[in-house]
Amino acid sequence: MANGAIDRSLDLGTGTDTHKSARYSTNASKYQNTCLAALFVNRKNLLGTLGIGAFFLGPIVLQPTGYSITQKAHWVVIENRVFTQETVKSLEKRSELSGM
């Protein structure tokens, strides 16, 4: 475009403003890099974040299944409990609605 005007054409495949989506992905990656850099600057931040993640994932991972946590059968049982047919269908429907 002449004189620095912004091209507001829509991407016909997705119906989105191509400049906005490009800007969003650039800003998102900058934000992600900033967050990761902040975590690695101070080890206490990283350990705290990992601790919080373990606190929330622990009850899911440590469910009694009758198998050792190192056995593949344990993880198959956990997968079948977490990802039931209903949740998979719900996730598929949600992704279809969002256009992803």
* DSSP secondary structure of 26-79: HHHHHHHHHHHHHHHHSHHHHHHHHHHHHHHHHHHHT---SS-TTSHHHHHHHH
pLDDT in tens, 1-44: 455 444 444 444 555 555 555 555 677 788 888 877 877 777 77
Quickly count: other Cβ atoms within 10 Å of residue 81's Cβ: 11
Q: Which of 1-10, 74-83, 89-98 is the most confident on average?
A: 74-83
| Domain limits, the chain | 1-62, 64-100
pLDDT in tens, 48-59: 888 999 999 999
Matching residue, tokens 């344990």: 74
Of 47 and 6, the one with more pLDDT? 47
Is the pTM here over 0.75, yes or no? no
